[in-house]
């Protein structure tokens, strides 16, 4: 049996350990592993290569994805999906592991409804915003990158009477912002999912500043689109000179953390086993409460991730 792996959408730390485990484990199971380069774009352009152990040697500690990624517009069109399928067939590939986020899985939902192909998705995005799983590959590493950045920002913040606003990624999901605010002792956290009580918090922080608080740390999720507003609010209402740091793509980089390497290992075994058993034609491996479970890709693509209540509760507990 020939099985292939590709990475799609935003890269995430943990993709490389997953790619390495995929190749090693498929060989261990007596089957043939293939690498597809540049995501769905590479699938369309037939950038498909049988993998050797040496192709994936020495990559477990690297961020990004050695097989590269893409956000493919062409894959949205049937004629290109047909080419992609013919390319897979040409190599005798019958099963595909996709490392990606919900956009990639929506593409695969369409693809697998049109063509006969086993496909298992491994949730991989720093945003942690995929329905049906409490963990996505790359999240822990991104959180550690953010924690490290905020720790450094705090060093300078605590040396001045100033506020610091840190904008973090996450697309429309506030997960990264909330966890980062929680572990960094931030006073303010603004996320897309919740209205921020500017007036109440403004009063409280202003009072604290008057009583001697020397600096304020605010974490703002990019998806809230409120960075400018929060900046202005801190300066005008709380009365502290404020600096803004938009962390940007450094959050996607970095050596995969221990957690991401372990999760990559376990996600891949689940995905490959499902393909080998042939029971799951189009599914995603979800991780919840310490256990892995297959979810149909229709269920994943048809639903939206909802931030757990316990994380929403954290926002009110920051002060």
Question: Of residues 38, 41, 109, 127, which one binds ligand F6P by CB under 6 A?
Answer: 127
Do residues 3 and 33 lie in contact, with contact meaning Cβ atoms separated by under 8 Å? Answer: yes
Q: What is the 3-state secondary structure (H, E, C) of 86-118?
A: HHHHHCCEEEEEEEECHHHHHHHHHHHHHCCCE
Spatial distance between the Cα atoms of 114 and 85, rounded to a whole number of angstroms? 10
Spatial distance between the Cα atoms of 303 and 136, rounded to a whole number of angstroms? 16
Segment interacting with ligand F6P (CB under 6 A) among 15-23, 60-68, 120-128, 259-267: 120-128
Residue 126 makes contact with ligand F6P by CB under 6 A: yes
Residues ≥6 apart with Cβ < 8 Å to 277: none
Residue 123 makes contact with ligand F6P by CB under 6 A: no
188 DSSP β-pair partners: 218
Spatial distance between the Cα atoms of 185 and 190, rounded to a whole number of angstroms? 14
Name residue, tokens 């703002």. Answer: 220
- Binding mask 249-268 vs ligand F6P (x if CB under 6 A, - otherwise)? ---x----------------
Q: Which of 28, 225 has the CB closer to ligand F6P?
A: 225
User: What values do phi and psi take at 158, rounded to 5?
Assistant: -75, -5
Nearest distance in Å: CB 28, ligand F6P: 31
Question: Of residues 5, 10, 43, 130, which one binds ligand F6P by CB under 6 A?
Answer: 10
Segment interacting with ligand F6P (CB under 6 A) among 37-45, 119-127, 262-270, 289-297: 119-127
Nearest distance in Å: CB 170, ligand F6P: 5
Residue 201 makes contact with ligand F6P by CB under 6 A: no
Residue 101 makes contact with ligand F6P by CB under 6 A: yes
127 is catalytic: yes
Do residues 98 and 104 lie in contact, with contact meaning Cβ atoms separated by under 8 Å? Answer: yes
Q: Which of 38, 127 has the CB closer to ligand F6P?
A: 127
Spatial distance between the Cα atoms of 240 and 209, rounded to a whole number of angstroms? 8
Segment interacting with ligand F6P (CB under 6 A) among 87-95, 122-130, 273-281, 301-309: 122-130
Catalytic residue among 127, 129, 140, 260: 127
Q: Which of 242, 251 has the CB closer to ligand F6P?
A: 251
Nearest distance in Å: CB 19, ligand F6P: 18
Residue 125 makes contact with ligand F6P by CB under 6 A: yes
Are β-strands 48-50 and 93-100 bridged in parallel, bridged antiparallel, or unpaired?
unpaired
Task: Return the number of other C-beta atoms located less than 10 Å from residue 273's C-beta.
Answer: 17
Q: Which of 70, 112 has the CB closer to ligand F6P?
A: 70
Task: Look at the alpha carbons of 54, 56, 62, 65 in this order and tell me if their dihedral is positive or negative.
Answer: positive
Spatial distance between the Cα atoms of 236 and 238, rounded to a whole number of angstroms? 6
Q: Which of 39, 95 has the CB closer to ligand F6P?
A: 39
Residue 136 makes contact with ligand F6P by CB under 6 A: no
Number of residues that bind ligand F6P (CB under 6 A): 10
Residue 63 makes contact with ligand F6P by CB under 6 A: no
Spatial distance between the Cα atoms of 260 and 14, rounded to a whole number of angstroms? 5
Q: Which of 25, 267 has the CB closer to ligand F6P?
A: 267
Catalytic residue positions? 127
Q: Residues interacting with ligand F6P, by CB under 6 A? A: 10, 101, 125-127, 169-171, 222, 252
């Amino acid at each position: 049996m020939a099985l292939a792996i590709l990475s799609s959408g935003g890269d995430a730390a943990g993709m490389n350990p997953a790619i390495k485990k995929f190749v090693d484990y498929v060989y261990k199971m007596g089957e043939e592993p293939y690498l597809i380069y540049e995501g769905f774009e590479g699938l369309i352009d037939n950038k498909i290569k049988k993998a050797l152990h040496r192709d994936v040697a020495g990559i477990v500690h690297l961020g990004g994805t050695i097989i590269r990624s893409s956000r493919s517009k062409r894959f949205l069109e049937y004629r290109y999906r047909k080419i992609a399928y013919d390319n897979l067939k040409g190599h005798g590939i019958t099963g595909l592991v996709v490392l990606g986020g919900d956009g990639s899985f929506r593409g695969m939902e369409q693809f697998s409804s049109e063509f006969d192909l086993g496909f298992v998705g491994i949730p991989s995005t720093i945003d942690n915003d995929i329905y049906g799983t409490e963990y996505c590959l790359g999240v822990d590493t991104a959180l550690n990158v953010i924690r490290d950045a905020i720790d450094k920002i705090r060093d300078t913040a605590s040396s001045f009477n100033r506020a610091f606003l840190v904008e973090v990624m996450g697309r429309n999901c506030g997960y990264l912002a909330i966890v980062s605010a929680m572990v960094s002792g931030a006073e303010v956290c603004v996320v897309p999912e919740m209205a921020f009580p500017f007036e109440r918090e403004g009063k409280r922080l202003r009072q604290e500043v008057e009583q001697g608080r020397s600096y304020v740390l605010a974490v703002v999720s990019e998806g809230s689109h409120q960075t400018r507003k929060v900046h202005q609010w801190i300066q005008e209402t709380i009365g502290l000179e404020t600096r803004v740091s938009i962390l940007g793509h450094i959050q996607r980089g970095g050596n995969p953390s221990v957690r991401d390497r372990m999760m990559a290992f376990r996600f891949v075994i689940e995905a490959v086993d499902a393909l080998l058993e042939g029971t799951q034609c189009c599914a995603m491996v979800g991780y919840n409460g310490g256990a892995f479970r297959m979810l149909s890709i229709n269920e994943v693509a048809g639903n939206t991730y909802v931030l757990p209540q316990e994380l929403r509760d954290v926002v009110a507990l920051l002060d």
